[in-house]
Structure 1
Amino acid sequence: MSAQLQLNGLVMLYAYLQRIYVYDKVLATIPDRAPEHHDPASPPELTTLIEKTGKTIAAFPTESGLSDEQVDSFTPVVDFAQAAMSNRAAHPGTPLREQLAAVAGARFHNQHLVEGLIMWGDNYRPETADQYRQRVLPARNDTRLLTAFVAKASLGQLPEEEQLRVGEWYDAVIRTTPGVDGDMGLITSLLRGIDP
């Protein structure tokens, strides 16, 4: 049972790390029109943490799970993700560029989560994998759409109608922001093999 929980925690953590990466990438892609505003640089360790988590998932021992030492090695990764999400928290009155970053990050987070839960289900619960397979194409379509919006915005050509859609989606991101800390606590529990 603990192996199942640990893999679930890793999948959730990986999705959050991807969310942070996409957020930062979008900000780097869309020029900032306010020169007095400085975006936080994407931390150099982010790519390393994504790779570490991805490799651990790919080589995950589905029967035995992670050792205590391996679990402990993810404590700083969860701490990093929690701090990074706090620094990127959605709030009202945010400029369009940051709204796009938050929405794109959330959509890519969802895609990685769905794909990870398919893999988890293939290992432990085929019916769960089947449920999430039905969600993967819509999730991928969402990320493609957001990628197109970001490309238009980077050229200063995002139409007003699409800007309004981003605003609506951003409102949904704001509503889910308070749940991030709970997710980080859940990830920690799952990695420790504790069934919440």
Structure 2
Amino acid sequence: MIKKLAVITLLIISPCFHAFADTSSDGFWSDVKNTLCETWNSSEYELYVPVSTWHNRQFYDKEKIDGYNEQPWGLGIGKYRYDADGDWHGIYAMVFADSHNETEPVAGYAFQKMWHANNDFRLGAGYTVGVTLRQDYHYLPIPVIAPLASIEYKQFAVQSTYIVGGQGNGNILFTWLKWQLK
């Protein structure tokens, strides 16, 4: 399982390992490639500690809620950078206990538009795109596209995403702590 996630992560960032830095080409894919590589080549790291997987009570009955794990013990690491506009970019990998207390790894890229109240306090909103592997899907790769929000103070942040779903699946607010290592 971890080997699968490592291969997928390498596929996400693989353009950065080639002598590809063709900054002369314009277009969407060139911008994506350059953004990923600038982030991957950053010397800034951050740690992630998952703290909550809240299941939206409007989509689950009490029996299901009582059987779910909402304390996703785990750990993650990422590389990040702030661009010229002050917006945050991150490439990350995290492993945590899912709703069924099974190991769930996730890896991907994230972006947040940042609003700076001052040098120490920031708010962010954006998205994450990546892949996860779940035991209930036989650890086959599952794409992830989700909104992302954070409240940040200096090097510390509370960051969350909402996993959209239907009745009895998804609709989970996943929250973790983020600490930028400097």
The two structures have a TM-score, normalised by structure 1, of 0.23
Instruction: Name the structure, 1 or 2, with higher relative contact order (CA <8 Å, separation 6+).
Output: 1
> Which one has a larger percent helix, Structure 1 or Structure 2?
1
> Which one has a larger percent strand, Structure 1 or Structure 2?
2
The two structures have a TM-score, normalised by structure 2, of 0.24
